[in-house]
Structure 1
Amino acid sequence: MTLVAPDPTRTVPLPLREQADVRDRWLTQRLLDLLPGLMDRAGIDLWLVVGREYNEDPVLATLLPATWLSARRRTILVLHRSDDGVTAAAVSRYPVGQFLPAWSPDAGGRPPAEDAQWAEVRRIVEQAAPQRIGIDVSADFALADGLSHTEHRRLTEALGPWADRLVPAEDLAVGWLETRLPEEIAVLDRLNRRVREVVEEAFSPAVLTAGVSTGTDLAWWLRQRLSDLGVEPWFHPVVDVQRAGVAPRCEQGALLPAVPFDVPVEPGDLVHCDVGLSSLGLKTDSQRNGYVLRRGETDAPAGLRQALAVGNRLQDLTTAELVAGRTGNEVLAAVRCAAAAEGIDGDVYSHPVGVHGHGAGPAIGRWDDQRGVPGAGDRVLHPDTVYALELCVRVPVAEWGGQPVRMALEEGVALTEDGVSYLGDRQTELLLIPDA
C-alpha cells in the first residue's frame, strides 16, 4: 500500500517534500483561478484573514504554505480584489509563501512592532479603499468564524472609520473551503479507493478472526494501518456489529450498537465501519459493510443483500436531487418525499467534505433531525464541490426473524457541471468475510 500521488492513475510513494510542492501549487492555482470569482460572488473586495500562533483561523490554515504547520506570532493576510485579479499580501513578521510581503518589523522606529503591524493594515485598507471588507465571523459555520474576540477588537481599533465597512465573510470563507480544483477531486477519488482497499484488508481473514476479533480490535487496526501508510485518520475509526436476535441498545437517549464494541465478532454478523483519512490537505469520509459467512455459506442472507440494495436506492434518490442552486434543506425535503413514495424507511445526513471531514457548506439533514438544518441547510449547493453522501435505511430481514437491520452507507461524491459522480467504488455488494 502506498501514498497517493497527485496523478490519480499512479500509486508510487509521494515523499513529504513532493506533497508540499503539490499543495503549494494547488494554493497558487486556487488563488488565481478560484478566489476572484468567489470574492465577486460574495460581494467582498477586500478579505482580511487574521490568526495567531496556536489559535489559527481555520481559513488561515488553508492559505499558508505547506511548510507552515501553523501561524507564526500574528499572521495577517490581505486579499484585495481588483481588475487584475486578487492581490495577496501578508502583514507578518515572517515571509508567507507566495504572499507579497507588505510589512517588516525591522524597519525601526516607533510605535512598537505590534502596533506598527496593525497600522500597516490600516494603510493598506486606506490605499485600497474597499466598499466591503470581509472578516471571518459566522453564526452558522465554525470554520468561517475564526476571527477571535481579541483580534476583532484590535482590528476595529486599528481601522477607525474604515471599521464601518467590515462585513461577515461567511459566503466567501465557505466558498473557499468547499470549492475543489479538478485535480483535487481526482486525488479525492484515489483516496477513497485507498480507503476501500484498507477496509477490504481489515474485513478479511488476515485481520478479522471470528470469535476472537472485536469491533475495538478492528478499529485500532484500521487506525494503525492508515497511520503506517502515511494517510493519517482524522477521526478514530468506528467498527460496529449487528447480530440476529440482538436488538440495538438505548442509553440516555443515545442509540448504541447492538453488539458491544468489546464483544468478539461471530459468523452470521453484519460488520460496519466508518473511516476517514487525511492526505495532501484533503479528507475522506466513508463507510463499508461486510458479512461474516457461517460455515457452508457462500453468500450473505438475501435479506441483508436486499437491505444494501434499498440503501443504494436511497443513494440514487439523493444524488438525483443534488442539483446546483438548490439548498441543502430543499434537497433533503425532496429526497424524503421520494423515499416515502417508494416506502423506504431511512434518514439522510450528508455533508461537504474536502479540506475538513465535516466541511463548510450546505448541510443535507442530520442523523438526529430530519426536519432540515437551520442556517447551514439553507445554503445553496455549488458546482465543483465534494460531499460525503451519508445515509441509512432500516429494513426487516426475514432470515433474522423479521428483525430490522440498519444499513448505514457513506460514499464520497463530486458535484460538477457534469452532474454527480462517485469518488472511488460505490459499495453495491457486501464484503464477504470467510469464517477461517
Structure 2
Amino acid sequence: MITHKRYIPLLLIVLVSGGLYKNAYGQTSSDENLLSEKSYAREPNAVNRIPSSEEVKGYIEYFNSPSPWLEIRKKRIRTLLPGAMAAADLDHWLIICRENNNDPLANHVGCENAGGTAVVLFSKDSESEAVTSRIFSPLSESTALKELGTFDFVIDVDKSQSAIEAASSYLTQQNTKGQIGINSFTVNPLADGLSHSQYIALNDAFTDTDISFKSAEDAIYYWLARKLPEEIEIMAKAAAITSRWEYEAYQAVIPGKSTDLDIAQFLKRKISDAGVGDGWAPSQNPAVNSGPDRGHSHPTDRVIQRGDVIQIDFGIRVFNQWVTDIQRFAYVLQEGEAQPPEQLQHAWKSAINGRNAAFNAMTPGAKGNAVHKAQQYVMQQSGSLPVMWSTGHPVGYVAHDVGPNLGVRPASDKLLDRHMTFAFDGFFSWYYSEDNTDTSTFLHEGKNQKTKTISVEDMVVIQEDGARFLTPPQTSLILIQ
C-alpha cells in the first residue's frame, strides 16, 4: 500500500511587504495576490497554486448531477452550426446514423440511439443564415425523438421505405441543386463516418438528381473546435480536479518502494470513487514514467528511485462528454539534497520559458505552427534536444480533439480562434544518464541512447486578448523527500 508522504515544491521565496511566499500544499501567505494571474504563471519556480480540496469536492458533486449535454447540444446546433456551414460553403449537411457502428458525430447531431438507419439533415437558410434540423427516422425511434425535441422536424420512415431515399426525395422536392456535405473524403476520423456501403446507397438514392457530394470536414472542423462558454466552464472544473489529483498522487510516493503503477492505481481509485471516467484509453491513462522517455504508454512496475524525474500524464472524462489532459512533474531528492541539481533546475526553467513562449503566441488569428515555432526557438536557445511531439493539440470532446494542431501536422496551418481549447506542453529534453541495467525503451532509431523530457502540460482557452489557463498551471517542480 502507498502511504501519504510529504513533498515540497521547488519554489521562489519572495519577501515583499512583510509577506513570505511559501508553499504549504497549495496555501500561500496573505500576499498571494501580489503576482498577477499571468505573471505568476510565467515565473519559473513561483509557488504552485493548487485547487483546494473543498473546491474539488464541489466539482465532483456537480459532475454526479444530471448532465447538461442535451441542452448544450441544442445550443451548439442553434448558435455555432450556422457559422460552421457558412464557413464550409454548405447549404445542406447530411449524416447517416445506424445502430452499433454509428457515425463518430452521432452524439453531436442527436442520433446516438439509432436503431435502423436514420438520416440527419441540417439545412441553412440563405437569407436568415439559421439552420433547420431534420431527421428521417424509422418509426421505432421517431416517437422518442419527437419527445426529446432535439430536431425541428422528425419525419417518419416506415419499414417499406429507406431513410436515405426519403432524404433524397425531400431534397429533390425542394429543388435542391449543387453540392451537399457528407462525412467522407477526408483523413480526419471524426469527419469520415460514412461507410462504403452507405456511400453506395447514397449514390443510388441521388442518381438522376442535380445533387453531388462534398466533404463536410470544414464544417465539422469549425463546429467542434469551438466551445460554448458553458462548456469551457465545465472543462475548467474538470481541469481543477485533474490537477489536484496529480499533486495528491505525488504525496503518496515513497522512494525505493512506490512504483509507477502504484501512482497510476492511486489515480484510478480517484476516478472510480468520484464517478468520472478516463480521458482516453484506460490502459494508458494515466501514463506514469519515472525512467527515460516512453511516449504514450502504460505504467509499469518500475520502482521509483532517488534522483528520478517523474511524469504523470492524466485526464478524466466528465458527464461522459468532456475530457482533460494535464501533466505534472516531480523530482525525487537524493539523500542530503535540498534542491534539484543545477542541470535539472535549468531544464525546468527552460521548459517553463518554452511554455510561456507558446502561451504568448496563442492569439486569435495565429497559425498553430507559429505557436510551435515560438517554443522551438526557446528550446534551441536553452540547449534542449529536439522532441518528437507537437507543442499542443485541441482538447475537449476527446483528448486529441478537432482543431488547429500546435505542431507541424497539416492542421497546424489552421488559425486559432476565440473559444477554442487546447492542451499544450512546455518542453526541455536531455540525454538520459546511461545505465546498462536499465532496459527501458531505447530511442533514436534503436541506438543505445535514451532521453528524458519535461513536458509540463496545461489547458487553455483562446480569448480575444490571447490564451487563458483553465486551471492554475504548474510553475514549480514538485520535490519528493
Distance 1:50 1:163, change over 3 A: farther
SS in 1 for 2:207: helix
Shift of 1:241: 0.7
Distance 1:71 1:227, change over 3 A: farther
Aligned partner of 2:21 in structure 1 is: none
Q: 1:192 aligns with which of 239, 244, 255?
A: 239
Structure with bigger RCO (C-alpha 8 Å, 6+ apart) = 2
Aligned partner of 1:42 in structure 2 is: 88
- 1:275 and 1:297 map into 2 onto residues whose CA distance is 28
Whether 2:119 is the aligned partner of 1:76: answer yes
Cα contact 1:138–1:145 (8 A) shared by 2: yes
SS in 1 for 2:270: helix
Whether 2:157 is the aligned partner of 1:105: answer yes
Identify unmatched segments of 5+ residues in structure 2. 1-54, 436-449
Aligned partner of 1:148 in structure 2 is: 195
Q: 1:211 aligns with which of 256, 260, 268?
A: 256
- 2:302 and 2:468 map into 1 onto residues whose CA distance is 38
Aligned partner of 1:314 in structure 2 is: 354
Shift of 1:298: 4.2
Distance 1:8 1:137, change over 3 A: farther
Which runs of 4 or more aligned residues in structure 1 lie more than 6 Å from their structure 2 counterparts after TM superposition? 254-257
Cα contact 1:414–1:420 (8 A) shared by 2: yes
Whether 2:268 is the aligned partner of 1:237: answer no
Aligned partner of 2:30 in structure 1 is: none
Shift of 1:131: 3.8
Shift of 1:171: 0.5
CA deviation string 1:147-190 (max 9, x = no partner): 11111111121122447431111111111221101121122111
Aligned partner of 1:18 in structure 2 is: 66
Give the length in aligned residue pairs.
394
Whether 2:385 is the aligned partner of 1:340: answer no
Q: 1:159 aligns with which of 199, 206, 214?
A: 206
Q: 2:131 aligns with which of 77, 86, 89?
A: 86
Moved more, 260-269 or 274-283: 260-269
Residue 362 of structure 1 aligns with an amino acid whose one-letter code is P
TM-score w.r.t. length of structure 2: 0.74
Shift of 1:191: 1.0
Whether 2:373 is the aligned partner of 1:327: answer no
Whether 2:356 is the aligned partner of 1:356: answer no
Cα contact 1:45–1:130 (8 A) shared by 2: no
SS in 1 for 2:119: strand
SS in 1 for 2:96: strand
Residue 423 of structure 1 aligns with an amino acid whose one-letter code is L
TM-score w.r.t. length of structure 1: 0.81
Aligned partner of 1:245 in structure 2 is: none
- 2:375 and 2:296 map into 1 onto residues whose CA distance is 26
Cα contact 1:267–1:293 (8 A) shared by 2: yes
- 1:9 and 1:86 map into 2 onto residues whose CA distance is 40
Shift of 1:39: 0.9
Q: 1:269 aligns with which of 301, 308, 322?
A: 308
- 1:383 and 1:171 map into 2 onto residues whose CA distance is 17
Distance 1:100 1:24, change over 3 A: same
Q: 1:28 aligns with which of 59, 74, 77?
A: 74
- 1:336 and 1:270 map into 2 onto residues whose CA distance is 22
Q: 2:98 aligns with which of 45, 52, 55?
A: 52
Cα contact 2:379–2:427 (8 A) shared by 1: no
**Equivalences for 1:172-183 in 2 at 5 Å?**
172-183=219-230
Residue 36 of structure 1 aligns with an amino acid whose one-letter code is P
Cα contact 2:124–2:131 (8 A) shared by 1: yes
Cα contact 1:307–1:407 (8 A) shared by 2: yes
- 1:133 and 1:345 map into 2 onto residues whose CA distance is 47
Residue 86 of structure 1 aligns with an amino acid whose one-letter code is V
Shift of 1:322: 2.3
SS in 2 for 1:113: coil
- 1:256 and 1:311 map into 2 onto residues whose CA distance is 19
- 1:127 and 1:390 map into 2 onto residues whose CA distance is 52
Whether 2:393 is the aligned partner of 1:393: answer no
SS in 1 for 2:190: helix
Cα contact 1:303–1:397 (8 A) shared by 2: no
- 1:180 and 1:8 map into 2 onto residues whose CA distance is 22
CA deviation string 1:241-298 (max 9, x = no partner): 14xxxxx48xxxx7799xx932211233211111111113111111110122344544
Aligned partner of 1:135 in structure 2 is: 182
